[in-house]
Amino acid sequence: MNFHHISVMPQETVSGLVTNRDGIYVDCTLGGAGHSHLIADMLSEKGRLIGIDQDESAIAAATERLQDCHCQVSIVQNNFRNLEQVLQEQSAQQVDGVLFDLGVSSHQLDTAERGFSYMQDAPLDMRMDQQARLSAYDVVNSYDEAELNRIFKEYGEERWSKRIAQFIVEARKNAPVETTGELVDIIKKAVPAAVRNAKGGHPAKRIFQAIRIEVNDELGILENAFRTAVAHLKPGGRIAIITFHSLEDRIAKNVLREMAKGCICPPELPICTCGHKPEIKLLVKGTTASKEELEHNSRSKSAKLRIAEKL
């Protein structure tokens, strides 16, 4: 199977994550198994890799890629929002490491018919889980103007959110917006030409990001998933998170920081009354890809890696 995806910060991630050759490691975003294959290479025959992805084509590609590994491998098609349940079903209550390499894979972006890309014309879809109920078509054609404006502003940080929402609602009065190409045309009409032609990337980039986040509930599930992962780490176990935009990175940074904090009493209190203890120690606080990596993998441009250790 041809599954194209270059893993981001592969060595930094895997060498920071794996500390026990006989341990259990969970990759919550298996994709093409790029990181997972490197993790598996570091494990002994006693070691175990559990790979999770919600996308059936990622599951198929990863199954093939991991078939020659000498450690134990379990592959699970699920959403990492269900991490607690997956670990229970896999009888893996205490693990040595958990990886989240967030967002979409290049394979998902490059497969035109998945509807993730504003560069290729295809039906509006953007579901990472092909069985999910909500698609980009539903968001674009059924959300009211205020809801569209909100997601474009919150998830796309788009300054023309209101106008783009108005133009979409106007356009769909005639007929539903069926394709990514039609949506791009509407966005181009809504964003003034002078702004469109200025530097700052494709005018549809932020809107597509916003719709994708909404369709897959990409932000809403993160905090709980990170906390679940840390709760299931053995002392000395590690969590690694790779983020690709400021919205998901803010969540990762804040949740890890909070778990790394001791006392959370208001600063005016003379003595600690909360008894709050840090659960983790921050090891890598948002490192970025090297110059060499940026040269051969443009996806790594916005990536940030965070690693923390369970106390």
Ligand X SMILES: C[S@@+](CC[C@H](N)C(=O)[O-])C[C@H]1O[C@@H](n2cnc3c(N)ncnc32)[C@H](O)[C@@H]1O
Which residues of the chain form contacts with ligand X (CB under 6 A)? Answer: 5, 7, 29, 31-35, 52-55, 58, 79-81, 101, 103-105, 128, 221
**Rounded alpha-carbon distances, angstroms, from residue 68 to 62, 64, 71, 184:** 11, 8, 9, 43
Nearest distance in Å: CB 241, ligand X: 12
Nearer to ligand X, 53 or 158 (CB): 53
Q: Can you tell me which residue has the tokens 């906390």?
A: 227
Nearest distance in Å: CB 8, ligand X: 7
Nearer to ligand X, 79 or 180 (CB): 79
Nearest distance in Å: CB 272, ligand X: 37
H or E element that contains 48: strand 48-53
- DSSP 8-state code for residue 308: E
Nearer to ligand X, 68 or 268 (CB): 68
Nearer to ligand X, 55 or 249 (CB): 55
**Rounded alpha-carbon distances, angstroms, from residue 134 to 68, 109, 138, 184, 248:** 36, 18, 6, 20, 21
Q: Rounded to an integer, what distance in angstroms lies between the CA atom of residue 199 and that of residue 189?
A: 17
Nearer to ligand X, 54 or 135 (CB): 54
Nearest distance in Å: CB 263, ligand X: 33
Encoded amino acid at 190, one letter: A
Q: Rounded to an integer, what distance in angstroms lies between the CA atom of residue 227 and that of residue 248?
A: 15
Question: Percentage helix, strand, coil, to 5, in the chain?
Answer: 45, 15, 40
Of the candidates 74, 13, 29, the one whose C-alpha atom is nearest the C-alpha of residue 225 is: 29
Question: Which stretches within the chain are classed as H helix?
Answer: 10-17, 34-42, 56-65, 83-89, 106-110, 136-142, 145-156, 161-171, 180-190, 193-197, 205-216, 222-231, 246-260, 291-296
Nearer to ligand X, 29 or 209 (CB): 29
Angle, helices 205-216 vs 145-156, to 10°: value is: 100
Nearest distance in Å: CB 38, ligand X: 8
Nearest distance in Å: CB 267, ligand X: 36
Nearest distance in Å: CB 83, ligand X: 9
Nearer to ligand X, 184 or 213 (CB): 213
